[in-house]
Structure 1
C-alpha cells in the first residue's frame, strides 16, 4: 500500500510539472496576448508548483529512507538522489532565479537558466516515476 501511495505521489509530481510547464504556461502566453500578464500568471503557477514539488518530494524522501533502513543502498539510494536533485532545482528556481526574472534583470539569461532548471526537475521526477513504475510491475 505504501509503495502505491509513493507511486501516486511521484506521478502527481511529474504530471503537474508536465501540465504546467508544457501545456498551461505556453497556452497563457498564446492566449492572453500580453506577455507581462501571462508572465505574472506563469510565475504564480510555478510558485504553486514548487509547493507541490516540496510536498511530494519530502514524503517520497521519507518513504525511501524508511525502505533503506540503517543503510540506504541500491534503488532507494538512486531515488533519494533524484528527489534531492529535483528539490534543489525547484528551490533554486523559485528563490534564486524567479526573483531575477520578476525584476527583469538580464531576462534572457535568467529565463534560460530557470527553464533549464525546470527541465532538470522534470527529468529527475520522470526518471524517478519510471523506475518506481518498473518496480511495481
Structure 2
C-alpha cells in the first residue's frame, strides 16, 4: 500500500466517515478546519483515484468518490511505520507519549483498561 500524504489522509478520513461523497462535499468538510482551495481538493482526489486509493462513480453529472483503501489497514500500516521510526519499536514509549498529550477521559481509561485486560487474558 502506498503511504498516503497528510492531505490524502485528511480526505480518506472524511470518506471513511461519509462512505461516499462528491469533491464539493469533501471540500466543504476540509474547509471547516483548514484554508484550502476547491481546485486543490479536486486535484488531490484525482491523484488519489489514479493511485488506486479512491473509486470514482461517473454515472451522474456529479462524480462520487469512495475509498478503496481500508481504514484499519491504513492505520495499522501508518502506526507500524511511526512505531519503528519515531519510537524505536517501543510500544510502551508510543503509548506513554500518546496518553501524555491529552488527559484521557474516565470512559477512555476504562476502555484502555479493558483492552489491556483482554491482551493479558489472551496471553494466558
TM-score, normalised relative to structure 1 = 0.26
Q: Please say which structure displays the higher CA radius of gyration.
A: 2
Structure with bigger RCO (C-alpha 8 Å, 6+ apart): 1
Specify which structure has the higher proportion of helix.
1
TM-score, normalised relative to structure 2 = 0.28
Specify which structure has the higher proportion of strand.
2
